[in-house]
Amino acid sequence: MLPQATSDLYDATRRRGAATALLVRSEWEKIDPAGDWWGQWLRLLPRAALIVGSSRVGAATDGVASVPAALEEFGSPSVRVKINPKGFAGWAGSGVPLADYLSSPVRVARDSPGSEVERLAAGRSWLEGLTRTAVSDAARGGSSVAIAATPRMGYTRYESAPYCQRCAPLVGKWFRWNQGFQRHPRCDAVHVPAAQDSLPEKRYTADIDASMIR
């Protein structure tokens, strides 16, 4: 099982992402289908970016706090590091300004088929997806920064059964904070903070057998 701190982070991030998407959606729905979509969204965009940015700060704060909490659950000494989550406010996970990141739904709406209402609905769905991604990226980024700032820290890969052939060998494996790998599409594995000298590998690999690999 995941540490409670990590499980709580993922649950809180999903709720925060859903709530933020609803707030941003309310801004998008102010667009008049008969008017200039781009001009209207430009006027609404600063508030939308503020909403997403504020949510990213909260998500990053949760991500930072989850690292020492997870260490304590593993029985490892926790080190509180000073990190400023406000650094996540104005930027998307890709590093572009949030205003630029949130501008693409207009293009999606313009390029979509159907009536004006249907096209705007397509843009709205795209916007909601961008919002959820921005929030989850901030939570993950906050925990990643906390891991990088904590001595001898990294992360352990966790995934519940069943496993694909590529994921099974990685379950319970410890990675340094700056060591990554390619995930396959729709991979549902998560990363659990773990100290190098207190690896929880057996906790995640003890019950894996061939019948779980599909």
Beta carbons within 8 Å of 207's beta carbon, 6+ residues apart? none
Give 115's pLDDT tier (boundaries 50, 70, 90).
very high
Between 55 and 197, residue with greater pLDDT? 55
Mean residue pLDDT across the chain = 86
Q: Supply the pTM of this predicted model.
A: 0.83
pLDDT of residue 72: 81
Average pLDDT over residues 20-35: 96
Please give the order of strands across the beta sheet that includes 190-195: 174-176, 153-158, 190-195
Give 209's pLDDT tier (boundaries 50, 70, 90).
low
Residue 205, pLDDT > 70, answer no
CB atoms within 10 A of CB 60: 28
Average pLDDT over residues 108-116: 95
